């Protein structure tokens, strides 16, 4: 593949998003139908795939203090603008939320799970007026409704060579995205978001003395780069999963993936005074590794996206530590040997815990790789060939965990 095609792919897959991308995808679909209709609908029916439903059940909707699809649909039908893409609810204000709440009572949306949907990522919205006028919109395959990305990247080697040779001015937007994600983390430190894991770790790392003595937690974590990587990454996740009105730079349709593959790399580069070119090449390697893995895994699956995103981070961190292609492959093998079984049980505040586990493993995997310590082909799903190893992971997530996915959704929708 030529460099321009890979660059276009990066621009397509690394884009700003507000809130969890699954309810935003639904709001976007509704907003498109509303724009066709020309006015607020008087009935709304939305059909979603089980994976969209799973990821929208418990996640906060920005600036609303509410969770789930009904308020996202109501806002999509009232103030959503499709031109904003995954920032479709950018114009959400307290007044807009108040109106959407009354509108939702007047026009309660009907939400159906399409168990036989043609894609794991599927939304179909039907909006109508009392006079019978109807407008419909469908999003399938990707969160914005574009055709799902074809498998264009042939190998990790192609990703690595591109990252090391692309003109850095062409990937400057990745630095902007990393800073955007850092800002989301810093917002979380100032408020009460989710389970407050990022804020807790930030407090531990910056105020670690009580009466002149280290606190219990500071004795464990301390004011280290490792703690900073954990607190900033999960802090950004805390904010967006709990409904903060913050934009993050997503990757392959997921804000948490964008956060997890950028913040650890950015912070490591900052701490070690890496120059802009080194940082941009590491961010390119991290982001494009995620895209490569997601192309065979699929947008949504029972495999947690944090596994994939943290694998990208492991590659980027290894590069910044001075590793070459072999060391990058070692780091990825370590990741796949370690956390390949992490399930996705929907988007929610507790995703910050999984993000933290992922990036902690990324640091460990990169550090081991630089010591030429890595999982061998005799171990589990790891093979000598890195691309076969990656595809073993994605086969498990895409094909092998289908029944797991159904069971997860059954448990989530049938709690006492």
What tens digit of pLDDT does each residue of 207-243 get? 554 555 555 666 677 788 999 999 999 999 999 999 8
Tokens of 204: 């531990």
Q: What angle do CA 57, 138, 63 make, to 5 degrees?
A: 40
Contact at 8 Å (CB) between 310 and 339?
Answer: yes
Predicted pLDDT of residue 213: 53
Tokens of 177: 């995205």
Is residue 6 one of the residues assigned to a domain? no
Confidence class for position 2, pLDDT limits 50, 70, 90: confident
Q: Which of 103-112, 167-176, 217-226, 308-317 has the lowest mean pLDDT?
A: 217-226
What's the mean pLDDT when you consider all of the chain? 92
Is residue 72 one of the residues assigned to a domain? yes
Q: Do 124 and 161 reside in the same domain of the chain?
A: no
Predicted pLDDT of residue 220: 75
Q: Do 327 and 354 reside in the same domain of the chain?
A: yes
Q: Do 74 and 184 reside in the same domain of the chain?
A: no
For the chain, the residue count is 416
In the chain, % of residues over pLDDT 90: 80
Rounded Cα gap, residues 75 and 69, in angstroms: 10
Predicted pLDDT of residue 163: 98
Q: Do 128 and 194 reside in the same domain of the chain?
A: no
Predicted pLDDT of residue 74: 97
CATH of the domain at 160: 1.10.4100
Rounded mean pLDDT of 375-400?
96
Rounded mean pLDDT of 401-406?
88
Give the domain-ending residue among 85, 112, 140.
Answer: 140
Predicted pLDDT of residue 151: 58
Q: Do 135 and 165 reside in the same domain of the chain?
A: no
Q: Do 109 and 166 reside in the same domain of the chain?
A: no
Is residue 165 one of the residues assigned to a domain? yes
Q: Do 188 and 305 reside in the same domain of the chain?
A: yes
pLDDT tens per residue, range 48-102: 999 999 999 889 999 999 999 999 999 999 999 999 999 999 999 999 999 999 9
Please determine, for residue 197, whether its predicted confidence score (pLDDT) is greater than 70: yes
Give the domain-ending residue among 140, 167, 186.
Answer: 140
Confidence class for position 206, pLDDT limits 50, 70, 90: low
Provide the domain count of the chain: 2
Is residue 2 one of the residues assigned to a domain? no
Predicted pLDDT of residue 325: 98
Rounded Cα gap, residues 122 and 48, in angstroms: 6
Tokens of 153: 């990247």
Contact at 8 Å (CB) between 31 and 76?
Answer: yes
User: DSSP character for 343?
Assistant: B
Give the domain-ending residue among 106, 140, 174.
Answer: 140
* Phi then psi dihedrals of residue 182, to 5 deg: -65, -40
Radius of gyration in angstroms for the set of CA atoms belonging to the chain, rounded to a whole number: 21
Rounded Cα gap, residues 345 and 121, in angstroms: 15
Rounded Cα gap, residues 2 and 162, in angstroms: 9
Q: Do 239 and 322 reside in the same domain of the chain?
A: yes
290 lies in which domain range? 156-413
Q: Do 341 and 382 reside in the same domain of the chain?
A: yes
User: DSSP character for 399?
Assistant: I
Is residue 402 one of the residues assigned to a domain? yes
Predicted pLDDT of residue 216: 62
CA 213 to chain centre: 38
Rounded mean pLDDT of 333-350?
93
Rounded Cα gap, residues 304 and 339, in angstroms: 10
Q: Do 113 and 63 reside in the same domain of the chain?
A: yes
CATH of the domain at 35: 3.30.1330
Predicted pLDDT of residue 219: 67
Q: Do 96 and 230 reside in the same domain of the chain?
A: no
Please determine, for residue 287, whether its predicted confidence score (pLDDT) is greater than 60: yes
Predicted pLDDT of residue 308: 96
Predicted pLDDT of residue 236: 96
Is residue 146 one of the residues assigned to a domain? no
* Phi then psi dihedrals of residue 154, to 5 deg: -90, -25
Please determine, for residue 204, whether its predicted confidence score (pLDDT) is greater than 80: no
Is residue 283 one of the residues assigned to a domain? yes
Q: Do 92 and 160 reside in the same domain of the chain?
A: no
Is residue 10 one of the residues assigned to a domain? no
Residue 406 in 3-state DSSP? helix
Higher confidence at residue 208 or residue 258? Answer: 258
Q: What angle do CA 254, 258, 264 make, to 5 degrees?
A: 145
Predicted pLDDT of residue 201: 86
Contact at 8 Å (CB) between 328 and 286?
Answer: no
Tokens of 271: 């701490």
pTM: 0.92
Please determine, for residue 413, whether its predicted confidence score (pLDDT) is greater than 90: no
């Amino acid at each position: 593949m030529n460099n321009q095609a890979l660059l276009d792919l990066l621009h397509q897959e690394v884009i700003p998003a507000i809130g969890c991308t699954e309810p935003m995808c639904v709001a976007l679909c509704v907003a498109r139908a509303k724009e066709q209709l020309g006015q607020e609908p008087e009935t709304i029916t939305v059909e979603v795939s089980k994976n969209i439903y799973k990821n929208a059940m418990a996640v906060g909707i920005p600036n609303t203090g509410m969770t789930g699809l009904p308020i996202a649909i109501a806002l999509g039908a009232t103030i959503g603008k499709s031109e904003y893409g995954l920032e479709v609810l950018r114009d959400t204000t307290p007044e807009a939320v108040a109106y959407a709440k009354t509108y939702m009572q007047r026009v309660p949306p009907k939400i159906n799970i399409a168990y036989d949907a043609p894609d794991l990522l599927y939304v179909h919205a039907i909006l109508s007026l009392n006079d019978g006028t109807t407008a419909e919109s469908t999003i399938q395959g990707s969160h914005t409704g574009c055709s799902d990305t074809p498998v264009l990247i042939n190998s990790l080697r192609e990703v690595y060579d591109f990252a090391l040779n692309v003109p850095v001015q062409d990937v400057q937007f990745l630095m902007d995205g990393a800073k955007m994600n850092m800002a989301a983390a810093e917002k979380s430190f100032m408020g009460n978001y989710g389970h407050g894991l990022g804020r807790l770790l930030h407090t531990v790392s910056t105020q670690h003395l009580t009466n002149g003595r280290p606190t219990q937690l500071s004795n464990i974590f301390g004011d280290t780069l490792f703690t900073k990587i954990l607190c900033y990454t999960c802090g950004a996740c805390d904010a967006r999963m709990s409904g903060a009105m913050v934009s993050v730079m997503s990757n392959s349709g997921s804000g948490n993936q964008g956060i997890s593959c950028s913040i650890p790399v950015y912070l490591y580069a900052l701490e070690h005074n890496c120059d802009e070119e080194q940082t941009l090449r590491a961010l390119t390697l991290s982001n494009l590794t995620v895209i490569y893995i997601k192309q065979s895994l699929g947008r949504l699956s029972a495999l947690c996206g944090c596994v994939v995103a943290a694998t990208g981070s492991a590659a980027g961190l290894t590069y910044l530590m001075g590793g070459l292609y072999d060391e990058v492959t070692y780091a990825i093998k370590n990741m796949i040997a370690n956390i390949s079984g992490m399930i996705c049980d929907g988007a929610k505040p507790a995703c910050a815990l999984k993000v933290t586990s992922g990036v902690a493993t990324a640091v460990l995997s990169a550090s081991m790789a630089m010591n030429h310590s890595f999982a061998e082909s005799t171990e589990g799903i790891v093979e000598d060939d890195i691309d076969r190893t990656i595809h073993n992971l994605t086969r498990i997530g895409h094909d092998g965990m289908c029944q797991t996915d159904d069971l997860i959704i059954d448990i989530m929708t049938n709690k006492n």
